[in-house]
Structure 1
Amino acid sequence: MQILMVAAENDAIKGAKVGGVADVVRDVPTALAQLGHDVDVIIPDYGNYAQNYESNVIATFQVPFCGHHEEVVLAQLFIQSGAQKVRQFVLSHPLFTSGGIGRVYLDDPSDRPFASDATKYALFCAAVSEALQAKHLIRPDVLHLHDWHSALITILSEYSRRYESLKTIHMVYTVHNLALQGIRPFHNDESSLEHWFPSLSYDGQVICDPRYFHCLNPMRAAINLADKVHLVSPTYALEVLHTSEHENGFFGGEGLERDLKQAQEQNKLSGILNGCDYDDETVAPITLSALLNQSKQAVKAWMAQSSELKTVHYLASEQIKNWLKKSDFKGPLVTSIGRLTDQKVLLLRKKMNDTDVFSDLLQSLANAGGKMILLGSGDVQIEFEFMQLMAKHDNFLFLNGYDQALSEYLYHLGDLFLMPSSFEPCGISQMLALKAGQPCLVHSVGGLKDTVKHLENGFCFDGESITEQQYNLIHVLKVALDVFNNQEDKWCKLTKQAKEERFSWHRSANLYVSELYQHRK
């Protein structure tokens, strides 16, 4: 079977990763290739990637866009990989590097959300469609689209005469995160469907946003137009069929629950868990001092990125110094790694009546002789709040950035991994922590519910309201700390079970083939 994957990110290419979708687009093709399939992957060229890899220009061609033609270059990158049946492609155009070389996503003002990125990915989708139409790319049996960035391909194949031959290709659409849908106006804006494709005749009832009828919703369009729709965990595939109730801490279909229910009724909706790579490499024992020294190096590197010293890096540096001086720390060490967004940390930030939840958790941890290290960046206000907590709590180290080596240290040295997401389509961090033998404390939603089992390989909490979820989070942390400090046999069993968990890409790839790829219209 010939498969073409279209996405915004791909961690097989250095510098083309922002989030978890890049891991999926890196790993799934290899797993499918190992089953005997031929897989091509294509993303925009954000960073002149041909300079980093041996490459070959396949074609230079014209793409109709915004009422004129844009010249786009298609190149294949030759990347060392164990999967010989996976080919990596990039499309180059000045628009794909408009935010600077290497920048994947752009930040638009709140009154024009997604505007720059939407135009960029509209051209990308048009270029992929043109490359397929002109046979610059091998015509696939399956065209697998990832998230809203590639969703316009379903619209072009359905409504454009130029690309109507693509309608006969079996199209699969994966929703990685319903919170980001790429909504833009239909017209009267430079970043709008009719500006990008002025001659396109379309059915607005099928592709409009259900809340803003004057706007295009790329994600809804792909859900309605694709042959198969894939959610990245079984539990998330059930949650999205229900209306979100943000005030009660439930994140469901985010306005698209009716379309997703219809997809389910049409037998075209599947929930297949993402996987994780498992290798036989033995990791050398990591000491706390080694972790802290790696943290110190990471903080220095972040400091060097600006001529102005950020207070958060200074405070982190001081906290690291203090921890290195003390030799009486015996744990537990709680770790957390991830983007700082309300999806990930709302339950830590929001006050529970008059209780500062995060402070309460850190105090409970201090009472048990423990410390916490959080590695992440994102929302500026969240970064500021966590910096203030670090200044207040001697047992909290906030590392405001990302460092791959440091993340590996945290996975392998931590005793308990904290992931209290309000929603989590799948999640990879908890899988990596489990793989390293670190039990996880998670909110039992989405992929977290499918991977972490209470008192088997970690600790879980839930709740019918935000307050109840917060209360249960505090309670379950105390349960975990009691097991760590007072029930050694039970803790050892938890860590053993965590390390033995397997969420293989091989299993997921088989389900891709049987549930997503086999059926036609």
Structure 2
Amino acid sequence: MNNFLFVAAENDAIPNCKAGGMGDVVRDVPRHISKRGDKVQVVVPSYSRLHKNGLFRTNLNFQLRGTVYTAELYEVVGKKECPNIVHYVIHHPEIEEGGIAHIYHDDPTEPFYTDFIKYVIFCTAVAEAIKMGAFGNLDVVHMHDWHASALLFLKTYHPSYKDLKKMRYVYSIHNLAIQGIRPFYDNYASVHNWFPELQLDHEALKDPRYEDCINLMAVGIRLADAVHTVSPSYKEDVMLPSARPEFVGGESLEKDLQQANNEGRLFGILNASNYNDIRKQDKGFLYRNTVKALFRWLQDESKKYKADFLAHTGEKIMLYVDERPKFIVSSVARLTEQKFYFFKRSPEAFEEMLARLRKIDGIFMLLGTGDPGYEEFFREMSYKHKNFVFTNGQSEDLIDSIYLESDLYCMPSLFEPCGISQMLAMRNGNPCFVHHTGGLKDTVEHHVTGFAFDGVTYDEKVKNMVKNFSEALDVWENDKPKWKKIKANAKKVRFTWEKSLDAYYEKLYVL
């Protein structure tokens, strides 16, 4: 039996520990490893809350900032009992929850300031736990995004953690655009402040653009035994330089990724979707679930500033209770530049799509929270357009209803490492309308399982987005047999973890 340790910032296998797709992967991959008879332990930060009902396992004592830190390791219960899987959280008062999904901090004036501190403490505690044998004899340590990569820094450069070199280290990139860049010196959240005893190898650790800073995403890429992107097409994208806004590629790390590829360490393996144990939601409750969510948010103190908008959304939804729209386009996403850049930069294009929808008595439903600028943009659009319903909050029941009752799922991402939403929509037999990039290119086939747009320049992409959206509605309106075939194809296609895990074992884990 092989023994794996997953180290990440999120883990959706335990309650209230998910912000995005990484949480899904850290939930699903261990379950499939366990089915193969291997053992998996998963460790995430406690964020000062997840340890509260946990079982205390041990204290972890280690040096940081020239002083002794003591963190606590707790075992916690997963949402689902699986053989050979143990979930842990690490508690320390300085590992606090942030405002983003009660996980990440947003430090607009000094990016990564607070997150750098908490993930340095977390990774050092994990290193100490490995050294103490708290996880037993490990064969593979699988780290996710920059939050976990300080572990590689410690095992490479810290004399106390030389013993960590025995096992294989795998590093997964979920979002290359978020890199964890902080100064080497002269700042509380700097490498030297937390590790004053270490001689820093600036060349091996530095950011390509800011040479006086460490880049923790780059550390993961440079020091891991295997580096993994979450789709084959995203692997190709990130080895090319970014040319924003037309193309988001390596984000200054393309040379590091090319080198990892030349050394045979870089692999693109598609994330998968879960086809078992799906949360069931009955059809016909889309509007009821919207109203229920709106009433719940109206009672939430933190949503008071949105009260007028929530009431406006409720009024709009009530119109559709008696007069159901003939066609529903939907989107469920975090409201960020990555997901909706095309709509915010070219609102006239989005308005053209809404106008085209009106012609077939269709509506566009968007659910999400995120960047305040994007929230404000979509609120304005909702006040302006009767057939655009923006539910500015989070509700699992409503999300399930949206996936179940939509006719077309819209995912116009500027870039997409893999994407899970399109897989969930296709699982329900919904064709998807996507930008042909990254993982969307690997999962949605134009006029076969959905519809896609692309272009060489930004203007070309936006023009094709409007044109191909109209084309998708034309198929629904005028070619029912073709629409039925596309729906059937979408429902039939399977992106399974069994298949992805075969590639993990063969290329990443090499056991």
**In 1, Cα distance between equivalents of 2:281 and 2:314:** 26
Alignment of 1:248-397 (within 5 A): 249-279=246-276, 285-287=282-284, 290-306=285-301, 308-310=304-306, 311-324=308-321, 326-327=322-323, 329-351=324-346, 356-397=348-389
Structure 1 residue 109, shift from structure 2 partner: 2.7
Question: 1:323-356: CA deviations, max 9, x gaps?
Answer: 22x42x34210000001111100111113xxx71
Give the superposition deviation at 1:382.
Answer: 1.1
Aligned twin of 1:499: 491
Alignment RMSD = 1.7
Whether 2:223 is the aligned partner of 1:222: answer: no
CA distance in 1 between partners of 2:187 and 2:379 (Å): 39
Moved more, 477-486 or 413-422: 477-486
Q: Relative to 1, partners in 2 of residues 1:253 and 1:408: Cα closer, same or farther, differing over 3 Å?
A: same
Instruction: Give aligned pairs, total.
Output: 508
**CA 1:113 to 1:509, structure 2 compared with 1: closer, same or farther past 3 Å?**
same
Contact 2:240–2:254 under 8 Å retained in 1: yes
CA separation in 2, counterparts of 1:224 and 1:282?
39
Question: What residue number does 2:195 align with?
Answer: 197
Greater mean deviation of Cα atoms: 56-65 or 43-52: 43-52
* Paired position in structure 1 for 2:55: 56
Query: What is the distance in 1 between the residues matched to 2:114 and 2:478?
Result: 54
Q: Which residue is 1:162 aligned to? A: 160
TM-score between the two structures when normalised by the length of structure 1: 0.95
| 1:409 Cα deviation after fit | 0.4
Contact 2:14 2:79 in 1 (8 A): no
Alpha-carbon distance in 1 for matches of 2:279, 2:489 = 18
Output the CA distance in 1 between the equivalents of 2:218 and 2:278: 42
> C-alpha displacement at 1:64, in angstroms?
1.1
SS of alignment partner, residue 96 of structure 1: coil
Q: Which amino acid aligns with 1:451?
A: T
Following TM superposition, by how much is the alpha carbon of 1:76 offset from its aligned partner in structure 2, in angstroms? Answer: 1.2
Mapping of 1:59-208 within 5 angstroms?
59-79=58-78, 81-97=80-96, 99=98, 103-110=102-109, 112-208=110-206
User: Is the 1:5–1:145 Cα contact (8 Å) retained in structure 2?
Assistant: yes
Aligned to 2:40: 39
Local SS of the residue matching 2:133:
coil
Contact 2:100 2:106 in 1 (8 A): no
Return the alpha-carbon distance in structure 2 between the equivalents of residues 280 and 19 of structure 1: 19
Residue 450 of structure 1 is matched in structure 2 by 442
| Structure 2 Cα separation of the partners of residues 330 and 373 of structure 1 | 11
Q: Which residue of 2 aligns with 1:440?
A: 432
Alpha-carbon deviation of 1:401? 1.0
Contact 1:234/1:273 (<8 A) preserved: yes
Shift of 1:99: 4.7
SS in 2 for 1:73: strand
Deviation at 1:56, TM superposition (A): 2.5
What do the CA deviations read for 1:49-97 (whole angstroms, capped 9, x no partner)? 3444xx4222112121122111111111233535211110111111123
CA contact (8 A) 2:19 2:101 kept: no
- Where does the alignment leave 5 or more consecutive residues of structure 1 unmatched? none
Q: Identify the residue that residue 408 of structure 1 maps to in structure 2.
A: 400
For 2:29, the equivalent position in structure 1 comes to 28
Query: Is the 2:325–2:363 contact (alpha carbons within 8 Å) kept by the matching residues of 1?
Result: no
C-alpha separation in 1, matches of 2:414 and 2:175: 13
Identity among equivalent positions (%) equals 40
Q: Superposed, which structure 2 residues align to 1:411-422 within 5 Å?
A: 411-422=403-414
8 Å contact from structure 2 (residues 330, 409) kept in 1: yes
Instruction: Give yes or no for contact 1:5–1:41 (8 Å, CA) kept in 2.
Output: yes
Q: Which amino acid aligns with 1:358?
A: F
